[in-house]
Amino acid sequence: MGKGTLYIVSAPSGAGKSSLISAMLETSPTYAMKVSVSHTTRTIRPGEQDGVHYHFVEKQHFETLIARGEFLEYAEVFGNYYGTSRVWIEENLNKGIDVFLDIDWQGGRQIRQLMPSAKSVFILPPSKDELERRLNARGQDSEEVIAKRMAEAKSEISHYTEYDYVIVNDDFDNALIDFKAILRAERLKQDKQTDKHKSMLSALLAE
């Protein structure tokens, strides 16, 4: 069995990143894949599950993990810690599981430096108008918040060139096929195949 790949996935809000990741997980029974679950010290909320929405840990434990260098990145927000565990990710990669890290360009840049074997995917909306339409269709933001999100979107999009792959989410089904093709192709990379087919290759090359 070969090692999994860490995927840094970024997109402006409204490009369809979460829907694409969810659809990937639901429709790909063949492949082992997971979304990276962050650690946090904040209190668990009704409806949340430990290990699903977050790994909920005590502050003291979180600080021990920091001291041990177990986080790829972490931040303190309103007195609570949030972090991405390198150990959790590597355990999964070693099991042959692909891990998705849903993160913005700044976090992506940090991860890329710490885990150079990670692959990165940027998801683009087909146009500003369509992005605005999608943000409005959610019905959860005021006009002011949407204007702010549109400005943030432009800033996020300006970093798309730092990514290995770019998916244009115009048609959702097509974008999902794109995403799947990337995962399938990455598993066909020579080093992954060498790992996966060790005994077959020894037999082919034996005297």
**Residues contributing to the site for a copy of itself (CB under 8 A):** 122, 124-128, 154, 157-158, 160-161, 163-168, 177-178, 180-182, 184-186, 188-190, 193-194, 197, 200-201, 203-205
Nearer to a copy of itself, 68 or 197 (CB): 197
Helix axes 143-157, 128-138, angle to 10 degrees: 140
29 has binding-site annotation: no
Residue 11 in marked binding region: yes
Residue 66 CB, nearest distance to a copy of itself (Å)? 33
Of residues 93 and 167, the one with the C-beta less far from a copy of itself: 167
Does the annotation flag 18 for ligand binding?
yes
Least Å distance between CB 84 and a copy of itself? 23
Considering only CA atoms, which of 157, 150, 149 is closest in space to residue 122?
157
Q: Quote the distance between the C-alpha of residue 172 and its chain's center.
A: 18
Q: Residue 7 CB, nearest distance to a copy of itself (Å)?
A: 12
Question: CB of 146: closest distance to a copy of itself in angstroms?
Answer: 16
Residue number with CB closer to a copy of itself (1 or 201): 201
Burial class from Cβ neighbours inside 10 Å (0-12, 13-18, 19+) for residue 164 reads middle
Whether 13 has a binding-site annotation, put simply, is yes
Spell out the residues 6+ positions from residue 105 whose beta carbon is closer than 8 angstroms to its own. Answer: 10, 156, 159, 162
Residues 6+ positions from 41 with CB-CB distance below 8 Å: 56, 57, 58, 59, 62, 80, 81
CB nearer to a copy of itself: give 87 or 181. Answer: 181
Establish whether 22 is an annotated binding residue.
no
Closest CA to 122 of 18, 28, 17: 17
CB of 27 to a copy of itself, least distance (A): 15
Please report, in angstroms and rounded to a whole number, the separation of the first and last CA atoms in the chain. 24
E strand or H helix at 85, and its extent? Answer: strand 80-85
Nearest residue (CB) to a copy of itself, 63 versus 170: 170
**Which residues belong to the annotated binding site?**
11-18
**Which residues belong to the annotated binding site for ATP?**
11-18
